[in-house]
Structure formats: structure tokens, C-alpha cells
């Protein structure tokens, strides 16, 4: 690698963007959160008032509960499923490309409004899902009209998009040396045992990466609930990102919404920090990698 300050010149676009489109707004959000700015009046400094009101605001607290619930259901389900399927796909199988494609398509299309339209449609009272389970004699489930049903619908929408986590797991599984399995097999250990004693420990860095990524994303989920269930019955799917959106871009309470976004940010960072702190207990990095 060349020692040259010209490198700085090449990264300049990113550096400028970092300062003006990331760091500045990031700090600015904190500043605005201490004001009563609403686009009309001149902003006044109000100290911690927004934060105090937030924690007395039953609506906000309910969005936090819903968001935590959503994250707790979505992330483990999605990752377990992704790992399980990646594990099966990692055996030398014919037609692996077909399966890989089939599993990846939902992740690819997932962000599109069209998928939300479809989802809303499938889970209606007289929709496809209820008619399908009806074939087996099950009673229709009030998916969109009950709090738990609505939560299940948006969780399923996210879990359905497990494809990109799966591909990352698949790449990690391919790096596990085959000899290790052979050695274990000679020693007489079962596949089940090898999976938990060899595979899982070796891919913990990937599990950790996927866990943090998906967790950060789940806490900020917007599209799914906004488009499919809306607030949901009893605000069951009214997540914090939607609450921030409503306050900022519908009611223009910029100060209040910024405070809410900082609370969400601190929660996300807190959980990330906890995950990082537990890292040396369960994540094994091999010596060779950087």
C-alpha cells in the first residue's frame, strides 16, 4: 500500500458527506430535541421537557413496547430459520441454485410497496391464508383485527425475508473446514453433536454480525407496519419509527419527534453495547482473519 496523502483526496466525497449529511444532522437532532421547534414558531430552548413528556406519554411508551416485542419475535425467528436453511443448503445438493433463488426472492422484493399490498391482501379475514387453513378445517384467524394477529402478520412479513441473512450464513458455513466434520464423524459423533460443537462455534462471528444488523433494522422498522397493518388494533403495531414519522412529518412537532428519535437511538446503542459486551463470552474469532 502506498503512503500518500492523495488517498485523502479519494475519500473526500465520503468525508464531506460524513460531516454534512451524517455527523451534522446527528448532532443537530440532539440540539432540536431540546427545543419546541414546530416549523412555524421560532424554536425555544425547553431543556429536558420533551424527554420528560415522552416518558409520561402513554402512546410513546406503548410504541416502545410494540417495537421491543416486534424485535424480540422477529430477529431470533429470522436468524434461526436462516441458519437452519443455510445448514441444509450447505450439503452438496443438486439444484441448490434453484433453492437459493427461491429463498432469496422475498428478501429482494421485500421492501417494495407491492409486497405490502400483497401481504395485506393475503391476511384479510376472507383472504388467502384463512381460506388455506380452512381447507384443513381450521377456523379463520382474525389476523388484521386482533392485536396479536396484526403483530404476527408484520413479524411473518419480516421472517419471510430471511434470504439475505441466509446467504451470509451460507458463505460462512462454506468456510468451515470439511476435515473437522470428518474427524468428528470418525470419532463417532452425531451430525447433531457436530452442528452444535463444531459448526456453531466456528460461525459465531457471522451470527454476531447478523444479530446486530437485524436488531438495528428491526428497531427501526417502518414500511411493514405502516403499509400492512397501520397502527393495528389497540395500536398493537404502532412502532416507534411510525410515531416519530407522525410527529415529525404529520404534526411537525420537530423538537418532540427528535427527542423520540434520540430515545430510540439510545435504546438501539444500549442493546448493541450489551451485545458487544457479551461478545467475548460466545464469539470466537479465528487468529488468521483480520
Partner 1 sequence: MNGLSKLERRRHRRDLISAVIRYGILTAVALVMIYPILWLVGATFKTNNEIFTTVNFIPKRIDFTPYIEGWKTRTQFTFTTFFLNTFQYVIPKILFCLVSSTLVAYGFARFQFPFRKFFFSLLMATMFLPAVVTRIPLYLLWKNLGLLDTYVPLIAPTIFANEPFFVFMLIQFLRSIPTYLDEAATVDGCNSFEILIRILLPALKPAIVSCTIFQFIWSFNDFLGPLIYVTSLSKYPVALALKMSIDQSSGIVEWNQILAMSFLALLPALILFFAAQKYFVEGITSTGAKG
Query: Which residues ranging from 219 to 248 are in contact with partner 1 (CB under 8 A)?
Result: 219-220, 222-223, 227, 241, 244-245, 248
Cα angle 82, 140, 105 (rounded to 5 degrees) comes to 30
Q: How far is the CB of 203 from partner 1 (least distance, A)?
A: 13
Total residue length of the chain:
290
User: For the purposes of burial, counting CB atoms within 10 Å of the CB of 45, is it exposed (0-12), middle (13-18) or buried (19 or more)?
Assistant: exposed
> Stretches 53-61, 123-131, 144-152, 195-203: which one binds partner 1 (CB under 8 A)?
123-131
Q: Given the complex with partner 1, which of 151 and 259 has the nearer CB atom?
A: 259
Nearest CB to partner 1, comparing residues 69 and 100: 100
Q: Whole-angstrom Cα distance, residue 222 to residue 237?
A: 10
Q: Work out the burial of residue 98: count CB atoms within 10 Å of its CB; fewer than 13 is exposed, 13-18 middle, 19 or more buried.
A: exposed
Among positions 13-72, residues that touch partner 1 (CB under 8 A) are 13-18, 20-22, 24-26, 28-29, 32, 39
273 binds partner 1 (CB under 8 A): no
The answer to whether the beta carbons of residues 237 and 154 sit under 8 Å apart is yes
Binders of partner 1: how many residues, by CB under 8 A?
94
The reply to whether 187 sits near partner 1 by the rule CB under 8 A is no
Could you tell me the smallest distance in angstroms from the CB atom of residue 222 to partner 1?
Answer: 6
Query: Hey, what's the cell of 223?
Result: 414500511
For partner 1, the closer CB: 62 or 104: 104
- Binding partner 1 (rule: CB under 8 A), the pick from 180, 265, 271, 279 is 265
> In the set 34, 70, 73, 119, which binds partner 1 (CB under 8 A)?
119
What is the phi-psi region of residue 188: left when phi exceeds 0, alpha when psi lies from -120 to 50, beta otherwise? left
C-beta closer to partner 1: residue 132 or 196:
132
Q: At what angle do helices 147-160 and 113-122 cross, to 10 degrees?
A: 130
With a CB cutoff of 8 Å and minimum separation 6, the contacts of 212 are 272, 275, 276
Contact with partner 1 (CB under 8 A): which of 52, 61, 72, 113?
113
Q: Pattern 132-151, binding to partner 1, x per CB under 8 A?
A: x--x----------------
Task: Between 168 and 236, name the residue whose CB sits nearer to partner 1.
Answer: 168
SS3 35: strand
For partner 1, which residue of 61, 102, 234, 274 counts as binding (CB under 8 A)?
A: 102
CA-based R_g, the chain, Å = 23
Does 264 bind partner 1 (CB under 8 A)? Our answer is yes
Closest distance of CB 37 from partner 1, Å: 8
Considering the rule CB under 8 A, would residue 85 count as an interface residue with partner 1?
Answer: yes
Please return the burial class of 275, using the count of CB atoms within 10 Å of its CB with bins 0-12, 13-18 and 19+: middle
Place of cell 473437522: 180
Confirm or reject binding of residue 261 to partner 1 (CB under 8 A): yes
Residue closer to partner 1 by CB (options 1, 277) is 1
Amino acid at each position: 500500500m502506498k503512503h500518500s496523502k492523495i488517498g485523502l483526496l479519494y475519500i473526500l466525497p465520503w468525508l464531506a458527506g460524513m460531516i454534512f449529511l451524517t455527523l451534522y444532522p446527528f448532532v443537530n437532532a440532539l440540539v432540536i430535541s431540546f427545543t419546541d421547534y414546530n416549523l412555524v414558531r421560532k424554536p425555544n430552548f425547553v431543556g429536558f421537557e420533551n424527554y420528560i413528556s415522552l416518558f409520561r406519554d402513554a402512546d410513546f411508551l406503548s410504541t416502545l413496547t410494540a417495537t421491543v416485542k416486534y424485535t424480540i419475535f422477529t430477529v431470533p425467528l429470522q436468524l434461526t430459520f436462516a441458519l437452519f436453511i443455510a445448514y441444509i443448503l450447505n450439503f452438496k445438493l443438486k439444484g441448490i441454485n434453484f433453492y437459493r433463488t427461491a429463498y432469496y426472492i422475498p428478501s429482494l422484493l421485500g421492501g417494495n410497496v407491492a409486497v405490502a399490498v400483497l401481504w395485506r391482501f393475503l391476511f384479510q379475514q376472507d383472504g388467502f391464508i384463512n381460506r388455506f387453513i380452512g381447507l384443513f378445517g381450521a377456523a379463520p384467524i382474525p389476523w388484521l383485527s386482533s392485536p396479536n394477529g396484526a403483530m404476527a402478520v408484520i413479524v411473518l412479513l419480516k421472517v419471510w425475508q430471511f434470504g439475505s441473512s441466509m446467504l451470509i450464513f451460507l458463505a460462512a458455513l462454506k468456510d468451515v473446514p470439511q476435515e473437522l466434520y470428518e474427524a468428528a464423524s470418525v470419532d463417532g459423533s452425531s451430525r447433531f453433536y457436530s452442528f452444535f460443537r463444531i459448526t456453531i462455534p466456528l460461525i459465531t462471528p457471522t451470527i454476531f454480525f447478523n444479530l446486530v444488523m437485524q436488531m438495528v433494522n428491526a428497531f427501526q422498522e417502518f414500511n411493514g407496519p405502516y403499509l400492512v397493518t397501520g397502527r393495528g388494533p389497540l395500536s398493537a403495531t404502532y412502532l416507534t419509527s411510525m410515531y416519530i414519522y407522525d410527529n415529525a412529518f404529520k404534526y411537525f412537532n420537530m423538537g418532540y419527534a427528535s427527542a423520540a428519535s434520540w430515545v430510540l437511538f439510545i435504546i438501539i446503542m444500549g442493546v448493541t453495547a450489551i451485545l458487544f459486551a457479551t461478545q467475548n463470552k460466545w464469539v470466537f474469532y479465528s487468529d488468521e482473519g483480520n
